[in-house]
Amino acid sequence: MHKRTRDITTMAEVAGLVLLRTYSSKARLCADARAPNGVEMTFSLSTGTRSDVRGDLNEQAKMKRFARLNPAPVPSPTEIAARAIERAAKPSVEVIRKRTRVTAVPAPLAAAPITAPVASQPPSPPSLSTMTTKIDTPANNPVRDFTPAEFYRLCEWLKAQDLKLLPSFDALVLVASQKFGQPVSEATLKEAITVTERVEPEHWSPPTDPTVILADALATFMRSLGVEPPKTLMTLLQPALAEPA
């Protein structure tokens, strides 16, 4: 169960979703994830003893489609103008406050008694409780860049893989993320493919059949509404989802 929890967490991070919670339901590991625009959706993986690579890839594709259909909201021109005016007004307010403090006349003070001078002490260093340091957590930085040593190991691992056995580029991203125990970005993996001079298989290209494209778009839209596509619609996608021989 711990491994499957780690797998679905990695899949959500690769897709650009925020994982909210995980729980078990009917022999499946469920996870509630949030898209960049705040919309939430539930995904699930099989918890059986046999590996379900095909099911994992389908769930990874659902996560990516859900993230694409729910991007971060774009501010309207009115909001952009309001923010620009607010930013432009802030410096003038600070200048006015500074001038007020400089030109203010202090009230007369009573004569202080003369005392012996006290040696000044150097300021004490700030305590750990008062220091604020930004730490890159998975929520702040879901997909971090590989170090040179990690990228070298990624290239060596990629050389030994038979790309024809994988149904899509997304499948390679998922397998690599599970292999290295951290999200591997598509850009990093494409760079590794270029460095190792590997050629992507032809079946990785997106479908060109208009019927398959339309059926995939309709199925994606139905899933975004929380409705499972009917079997008759999924039958049209079988040629595009079929694994290579």
pLDDT band at 100 (very low <50, low <70, confident <90, very high): very low
Indicate the length of the chain as a whole number.
245
The pLDDT assigned to 34 comes to 93
Token duo for residue 236: 């049209």
Token duo for residue 89: 């007004």
Q: Which of 4-18, 135-149, 213-227 has the lowest mean pLDDT?
A: 135-149
State how far the alpha carbon of 152 is from the alpha carbons of 35, 157, 219, in Å.
32, 9, 39
pLDDT band at 28 (very low <50, low <70, confident <90, very high): confident
Is pLDDT above 60 for 165? yes
CA–CA separation, 8 vs 41, rounded Å?
A: 13
Using an 8 Å Cβ cutoff, are 55 and 11 in contact?
no
Among 21-35, 124-138, 206-220, which range has the highest average pLDDT?
21-35
Residue 78 CA, distance from chain mean position = 28
Is pLDDT above 60 for 92? no
Residues in a beta bridge with 22: 31
Token duo for residue 103: 């030109």
**Helix axis angle, 231-241 to 210-224, nearest 10°:** 120
Place of tokens 């270029």: 194
pTM: 0.43
DSSP H or E run through 76: none
The pLDDT assigned to 135 comes to 36
The pLDDT assigned to 20 comes to 92
Which residue would you say has higher pLDDT here, 198 or 121? 198
